[in-house]
Structure 1
């Protein structure tokens, strides 16, 4: 089925992301975009008589998921990560293409890459856009900016800079390569052996240089950050988003809410022992990560109570099998279990990130004119986000790329 024909997706319940509850209806798709949505009779009237039909058997349809913290070239310490780090550029591109395809099949139709090796994601994005390979829509930060020896400095997915001028050049270099946003590492993290989560790694003038330069070029900035003091400094300088936020405090989340600084909590990274074990992640990292879990949840709950804008991001590969589902769905379950209402959790995985990316006129809800990026499952996700475990059908740009009833995995 191609994206150019008119298709009616029918016999389904539609969660459009605008209303809070699904309704019995249908979606008409033409030229890769949503033509009409609503009660089936009205949708049929808007579509030509020759329209094809997809019967979803009473399933629940919603917009495809957006994962805002993705690394398709992730390589953590340990044998699994070492194997990725040793890949040639050609092998790496094929490896990432495989991950992109699996990501799309998992219901994630858009990703925000926040540090990829050797700028390979730019070639991957072009290949996906050209139809050479299957994958999600890609927004990317290019290489993350770090200080010498800073978090993640070991690989080609980061660029070491020192001093304000160097960070300005690093920011411009990512924009020149085609970056949609800028990622900067302003503190230590769980994957750096010679640092702590709360190790400050950039000076105020270095952070300011990144933010000022990126904003001048119309790009937002997100920061890998754990401790409250460094996050506070960055927020006051205009930071747009925080990744992780392991050690937030009430004054800092209040400041984030007041300044419109979003949070991608990545709760799963401090509760994913099965993933670590599968990669042979060393004990020091496992202890640091899993030991931070309780404080991580406390930070998340503080942000939620303060009204900070929350967005879904797994840090683990979006499709990664874990605890009977994927990393993306498991992250969403954590967000809901620790206080976010199911409907708001779904929006944190759809329209909220689309708005942050400046793509809300194209993505994030099931409305006429938007891309026909749709997913379907057996039960109502607005009642329990675990309904996404029953995901069985995926459409991107009007083309069905997964249908479990027919065995299709395009």
Structure 2
């Protein structure tokens, strides 16, 4: 992504033949047809009518011109529930668990590259094995690997025997002091946020979705310690009672929320607690079959689907901020597209609509991450993390199925017209 440019190649590019669209449409900023975007280095230097931008760029010196052929140009997607080292129960997961540290690094790097090429330019990792995510983040930032911008929680915190305890992507803790140490250990490693498992889930054979896994003093310790260090906290959580308690204590985000209630969603909206619903995880039999996921987990997942969708509807009705997150690997080919786009379609089609879905997949996550000064819109000064597609994303979230051009930090990493894709 950040590889050196060819000798003599300008670091300025003007993108033409496009309509610029981003989530500011919800604030009254209309799409800009016949637009041009001037990219200088890794950031956007100007956005506006093509003639004006071309004149401005020309006055500043040489540039390359890229005609996008009438495409819609948007910010890249942000996937807020990513596991590049995911290993579910079953044969596919066992293969990942069996990788040695060197093999795991290559496996995750390949997943990062594939994630970027499908148009996801930023991810939030919420439990990765062996702290390999930190090495991968450094490699991408230095240009040694190709992938999205990474915000990561490091290892997720769990109680002894809690959800996900079997893997090296979690850290078992007990008691308030133990969980305080857990938070600090992830911050020490370089975590941007903290992930904690506060209930059971789909993938734990000896638990139920509604199983409570932290006591109040432990949950308080996680949230207080993380906030003291300037880190937000997101929680794997299914049932309403434990979510209600966590929200009252200041929880910043809920993952999944399988069993919400109107009372809990109202509290989430009032507190400003976001929801990453991961609707895919209760409607992905094809994915489970591909990985050889056992029948007990498939049944638990698929049977939870109707209640999960009801919970999502309650969150929308209450005005909870919902954010894109697939849980499945972001790049995974699924139902004719990739997991990130399929999740966005579910969110849009289940009540969010395409304009708000664009916000949920771009600016909303960026604001939660505190990165809105650099990402999330097509504006002067932002990183040039951009994707182009032929269909209008304001007409349907399915437009993202047709992403055919991707730029990350001012570098084109995919261009279907020329057949170029970063390898």
CA distance in 2, matches of 1:189, 1:58: 45
Aligned pairs for 1:1-400 within 5 A:
2=5, 5-20=11-26, 21-24=30-33, 25-48=35-58, 49-400=61-412
Instruction: Please list the CA deviations of residues 338-369 of structure 1 after superposition, one character each: whole Å capped at 9, or x if unmatched.
Output: 00021110010101110000000100000000
**Partners in 2 of 1:102 and 1:270 — Cα distance?**
24
Native 8 Å contact 2:278 2:343 kept in 1: yes
Shift of 1:31: 1.1
Cα distance in 1 between the residues matched to 2:386 and 2:182: 36
Unpaired segments of 5 or more residues in structure 2?
Answer: none
DSSP-derived class of the 1:133 partner: coil
Q: Do 2:279 and 2:308's aligned partners in 1 also have CA atoms closer than 8 Å?
A: yes
**Separation (CA, whole Å) in 2 of partners of 1:323 and 1:102:** 17
**Kept in 2: contact 1:80–1:280 (CA 8 A):** yes
TM-score normalised to the size of structure 2? 0.96
Query: CA offsets per residue over residues 67-108 of structure 1, 9 Å max, x none?
Result: 000000000000000000010000000000000000000100
Q: Which runs of 4+ in 1 moved over 6 A?
A: none
Deviation at 1:261, TM superposition (A): 0.3
TM-score (norm: length of structure 1): 0.99
State the alpha-carbon separation in 1 of the partners of residues 41 and 262 from structure 2.
48
Conserved in 2, the CA contact under 8 Å of 1:4 and 1:398? no
SS state at 2:107 partner: helix
Shift of 1:23: 2.2
> For 2:78 and 2:222, how far apart are their aligned partners in 1?
25
Query: What are the superposed Cα offsets for residues 138-171 of structure 1, whole Å, 9 maximum, x if unpaired?
Result: 0000000000000000000000001000000000
For residues 198-234 of structure 1, the C-alpha deviation after alignment (integer angstroms, 9 at most, x for no partner) is: 0000001100000000000000000000000000000
Q: Is the 8 A contact 2:22 2:358 kept in 1?
A: no
> Could you tell me how far 1:4 is from its partner in structure 2?
6.6
State the number of aligned residues. 410
Question: 3-state SS of the aligned residue for 1:18?
Answer: helix
Mind listing any 5+ residue stretches in structure 1 that lack a counterpart? none
Name the SS of the counterpart of 1:284 in structure 2.
helix
Does the 8 Å contact 2:10/2:62 carry over to 1? no
- 2:48 and 2:359 map into 1 onto residues whose CA distance is 19
CA distance in 1, matches of 2:65, 2:94: 47
